[in-house]
């Protein structure tokens, strides 16, 4: 079945520095979309990025990710993190014909001053 693997646990980054949160996946399907969701403390998860095109960079709110089917990856990056970026980040996939999302275990990003 489908699976999504993320950088485990807590990632701590100093404000102003870059960050990359890893996401790799396994799927037998070719028609698949990939998502990054962000969940701030005491809030619902919200969509951050979405992509289904190989090798195309997707950007939103300063974050960006590029789907690389050759390496089965969809890593999330930001060149300069802010304190307000501290949150839980989830990578997920979904394919047509199936309404189910498959989520990774989540990575907690903590930005320190």
Partner 1 sequence: GALVYQYPRRTICKSGTSMRMECQAVGFQATSVAWYRQSPQKTFELIALSTVNSAIKYEQNFTQEKFPISHPNLSFSSMTVLNAYLEDRGLYLCGAREAGGYAEQFFGPGTRLTVL
- Can you give the binding site for partner 1, defined by CB under 8 A? 31, 33, 35, 37, 43-47, 50, 52, 90, 94-101, 103, 105-106
Residue 8 CB contacts under 8 Å (≥ 6 apart), including other chains: 105, 107
Of 60, 46, 5, 40, give the one whose Cα is nearest residue 110. 40
Least Å distance between CB 39 and partner 1? 8
Residue 30 CB contacts under 8 Å (≥ 6 apart), including other chains: none
Given the complex with partner 1, which of 15 and 22 has the nearer CB atom? Answer: 22
Least Å distance between CB 47 and partner 1? 5
Least Å distance between CB 108 and partner 1? 10
């Amino acid at each position: 079945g489908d699976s999504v693997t993320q950088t485990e646990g807590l990632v701590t980054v100093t404000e102003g520095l870059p960050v990359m949160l890893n996401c790799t996946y396994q799927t037998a399907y070719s028609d698949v979309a990939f998502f990054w969701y962000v969940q701030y403390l005491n809030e619902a998860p919200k969509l951050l990025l979405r992509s289904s095109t190989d090798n195309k960079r997707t950007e939103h709110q300063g974050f960006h990710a590029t789907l690389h089917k050759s390496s089965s990856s969809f890593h999330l990056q930001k060149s300069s993190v802010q304190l307000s970026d501290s949150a839980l980040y989830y990578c997920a996939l979904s394919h047509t014909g199936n309404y189910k999302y498959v989520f990774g275990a989540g990575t907690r990003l903590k930005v320190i001053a």
